[in-house]
Amino acid sequence: MTDILIVDDHDLVRTGLKNILGGSRGFNIVAEASTGEEAIRLTRKLEPDLVLMDVGLPGLSGLETTERILKAQPEVKVIVLTAHSEPPLPARLLDSGASGYLTKACDAEELIRAVQKVAAGERYIGADISQQLAISLLPGTPQSPFQELTSRELEITLMLTQGMKMQSIAEVLNVSPKTVATYKYRIYDKVGVSSEVELLRQALRHGLVSADV
């Protein structure tokens, strides 16, 4: 039996995933979480075999949450299930130790197949993600301006595009507001923007976030 923790900030999505996976033999949904902080706490407490993780969580994003979970509990398997298929998020999450990456456009059969494979110790990357990753490596392919960001810069970018203030970001990441400000302007310089509005526009244009952010 594979114990699964579902992490998504939308009740309807969690209910749908629970119905799909809970109705399949061999899967046991042990808990649900709507934030990264809650996911970390529940993973530590319940020690699930697998975490199904959304990226666009309020506060601590799925990227940072995945990294923290796997640093503390490397035996846990994480499958990312998100609307974001554009670089650099898939590569960063896979590099951080995620065992699978699917978009929410996948069907129930693919989701079940991915969970089965990852639970068995394999990796699973959806066909659309694989295509995006392959295309991004081709010579002459235009690169996203977010490709040059470090994982921490990417995490702060996701928070800024949610409209979070620097003080709130500092509290979530346990750093000083001054440190967040330094990261913020470093991000502006790398991406080529001068305001949070421009940063959001670039994030939308390059598929880093979706329009319902």
pLDDT at 213 over 50: no
- Predicted pLDDT of residue 2: 96
Q: Which DSSP category does 79 fall into? A: E
What's the whole-model pTM score? 0.82
Burial, 18: exposed, middle or buried (Cβ in 10 Å; 0-12, 13-18, 19+)?
Answer: middle
Query: Tokens 């702060």, residue?
Result: 156
Domains of the chain: 2-136 (3.40.50.2300), 145-205 (1.10.10.10)
pLDDT tens-digit map of 58-106: 889 999 999 999 999 999 999 999 887 777 788 888 888 999 999 888 9
pLDDT tens-digit map of 130-165: 766 655 555 555 678 888 898 899 999 999 998 999
CA distances 175 to 26, 69, 110, 195, Å, are 41, 19, 39, 22
Beta-carbon contacts of residue 96 (< 8 Å; ≥ 6 apart): 63, 66, 67, 70, 151
